[in-house]
Copies of this chain bind each other. A is one copy, B any other.
Amino acid sequence: MTGFATSVIGCKCEAAIECDVPAAETPDGRPGVSVLLFATDTANLQTRLIERIGQTVMTCPTTACFDGLPDATERLSVGRALRVFGDGFQASKVIGGRRYWRLPVMDGEFLVQEDFGRATAIGGGNFLVLGETAEGALEAAEAAVRAMANMRGVILPFPGGIVRSGSKVGSKRYKKLVATTNDAFAPTIRPLTTSELPPDVNVVYEVVLDGLDFTTIATAMRAGITAACRPGIRAITAGNYGGKLGPHHFYLRRILAGELAP
């Protein structure tokens, strides 16, 4: 459900597990996981949901799939598209004002909700961990990721939560490219470009966050940045992109001081 979903540009969506959901909180009383999926427009989001639920959740032993945003007023129809896999043997039922589809499969039935909630959210939150050594920088970034894991309302779409191929908007060389390597933070080409790396920094890792709202992302960033403050880390900063990439600005110093509202 969340594989090959690191970047809306290259994968059409970004997705990851938000948190485990204990049996007491799921609709069918079984242990669950909550997934958040981000896309750049609603039609695309719907297509991604249908194909990913159909290919990876419906196929998987014992699963059912429920909406996790019941209060969202905008609804995307998903179960209706999947129902035809039942080849006429499917059935639907309305419970508590929501429609559910039952598709016969080889281990019983796949139960899937008719529609799923959509909300306006925030993608591309990030911070950069600048370290002296490869080992130290990676450990610090991993500690950051672990400190943010299982938080409600936020996901880290990259595998392991960490990116090493940070990018800048556009290109100096290739006019058509929308994103190329963040050469200002690439240590091996320090002498060849206008580097922003401090003298003792040899490795940089980026942590990317998508979240449901500003405060959730800021709270996660505060926990992650604090955990990344380990020996050998020289600086923690963020991709700025000239302040032009989206309406939200996360000021790291304010966040660390506890200002978690926009």
Residues of A at under 8 Å CB distance from B? 1-7, 10-11, 19, 22-25, 30-31, 51-52, 54-56, 58-62, 84-89, 103-110, 128, 134-135, 137-139, 141-143, 146-147, 149-152, 158-160, 162-167, 171-174, 177, 179-183, 185-189, 192-193, 203-206, 222-223, 226-227, 229-231
Contacts and interface: CB of A to CB of B under 8 A. Distances in A.
What are the 10 A-B residue pairs with the smallest beta carbon separation, nearest first? A3-B3, A146-B146, A88-B173, A87-B180, A106-B204, A104-B186, A147-B147, A147-B227, A10-B55, A107-B164
Contact of A85 (B31, B143, B181): B181
A261 B84 CA distance: 39
A200 to B, nearest CB: 15
Contact of A104 (B58, B158, B173, B188): B188
Nearest to A110: B165
Contacts of A173: 84, 87-88
A13 B48 CA distance: 16
Chain B CB count within 10 A is highest, among A51, A86, A104, A223, for A104
A222 B160 CA distance: 24
Contact of A227 (B104, B188, B223): B223
Given A11-B55, A59-B163, 13 more contacts: A4-B5, A31-B31, A56-B159, A59-B164, A60-B162, A104-B188, A106-B185, A139-B150, A143-B149, A146-B149, A147-B223, A151-B230, A222-B226
Given A89-B181, A138-B62, A146-B149, A4 B55 contact: yes
Given A5-B3, A147-B146, A226-B226, A174 B56 contact: no
Given A147-B146, A193-B89, A106 B205 contact: yes
A229 B231 CA distance: 22
Nearest to A159: B60
B166 A106 contact: yes
| Residue from A11, A147, A167, A185 with most neighbouring chain B CB atoms (10 Å) | A147
Contact of A60 (B151, B164, B167): B164
Contacts of A1: 4
A223 B185 CA distance: 27
